[in-house]
Amino acid sequence: MSAPVLELAGVHHAYPDGHPTLRGVDLHVHRGERVALLGPNGAGKTTLVLHLNGILRPEAGQVSVAGLPVDEEHLLEVRRRVGVVFQDPDDQLFMPTVGQDVAFGPRNLGLRGDELRARVEHALDAVGMGEHADRAPHHLSFGQRRRVAVATVLAMQPDVLVLDEPSSNLDPASRRELADILDRLDVTVLMVTHDLPYVLQLCERSVVLSEGRVVGDGPTGEVLADEALMAAHRLELPYGFDPRSVPPRTRATTQ
């Protein structure tokens, strides 16, 4: 089996106020996997994500991406390889047009001309926004802005796409459209979410984080059917939703 594309080993973290957030997290994600990171409010999910691209550093333990330690020396390469789509697309869109926003990252990598144009087109097409390259991001709907935020990350051709609450604030149609888009992408995914039906649809594996520790990790159908685990960590499926009624998502991982 090849080295994991994401690896956290014994990761501890506390914010400057001393509040401990991660208490010895071990997590391996292999290429091709789609993993949901679940857990109650305050479990440490966003804190964990911020360790993947070096915004936060562990007090103890190691984080590595595609075999590279997340440290000062490897930061640029790590940030190319892990693309994080934050919850608010407006944190990621700041250029006058959609096309310029999507071009921003690859341009910083040195791409120019036809190569840059092709990269932008491909990323916008992947999220169904190819027709909108010349529009101003602030003229788009929230759902369209979230898709463009995904495209800004895809344009970097990351090894891992990390999504923080991808379905939040989307109407049902936009939620479904984004699920279809994510389902078609051929990239390793780590998705932080409270939307458990989304997880059943998109992620074959689920990891449960609670009070800064991994307390569950397994096939999504099994994790969500574990009533004791779910109740202990404030995870609730919509009323009447039976995780066993959804066929388990299976994907071949390239290991």
Ligand X SMILES: Nc1ncnc2c1ncn2[C@@H]1O[C@H](COP(=O)(O)OP(=O)(O)OP(=O)(O)O)[C@@H](O)[C@H]1O
List interacting residues with ligand X (CB under 6 A): 15, 17, 19, 21, 39, 41-47
Question: In terms of CB distance, is 119 or 146 closer to ligand X?
Answer: 146
In angstroms, what is the minimal distance from the CB of 157 to ligand X? 27
What whole-number distance in Å separates Cα of residue 229 and Cα of residue 223?
Answer: 8
What ranges in 127-195 are assigned the alpha helix state H?
142-154, 172-184
The angle at the Cα of 37, spanning 152 to 233, to the nearest 5 degrees, equals: 145
Q: Between helices 98-108 and 113-126, what is the axis angle to 10°? A: 120
- If phi > 0 it is left, if psi is from -120 to 50 it is alpha, else beta; for residue 235 that is beta
Backbone angles phi, psi at 82, to 5 degrees: -115, 115
In angstroms, what is the minimal distance from the CB of 84 to ligand X? 13
Q: Residue 88: name the closest of 192, 183, 166 by CA.
A: 166
Q: Residue 93: name the closest of 163, 148, 157 by CA.
A: 148
> CB–CB of 81/159 below 8 Å?
yes
Question: In terms of CB distance, is 46 or 253 closer to ligand X?
Answer: 46
Tokens of 191: 């998705």
Question: In terms of CB distance, is 123 or 163 closer to ligand X?
Answer: 163
Question: In terms of CB distance, is 133 or 203 closer to ligand X?
Answer: 203
Question: In terms of CB distance, is 140 or 149 closer to ligand X?
Answer: 149
Backbone angles phi, psi at 111, to 5 degrees: -75, 145
In angstroms, what is the minimal distance from the CB of 53 to ligand X? 14
In angstroms, what is the minimal distance from the CB of 101 to ligand X? 25
Question: In terms of CB distance, is 16 or 238 closer to ligand X?
Answer: 16
* CB neighbour list of residue 249: distance below 8 Å, 6 or more residues apart: 34, 200, 201, 202, 203, 204, 220
Question: In terms of CB distance, is 39 or 158 closer to ligand X?
Answer: 39
In angstroms, what is the minimal distance from the CB of 48 to ligand X? 7
In angstroms, what is the minimal distance from the CB of 31 to ligand X? 25
In angstroms, what is the minimal distance from the CB of 192 to ligand X? 7
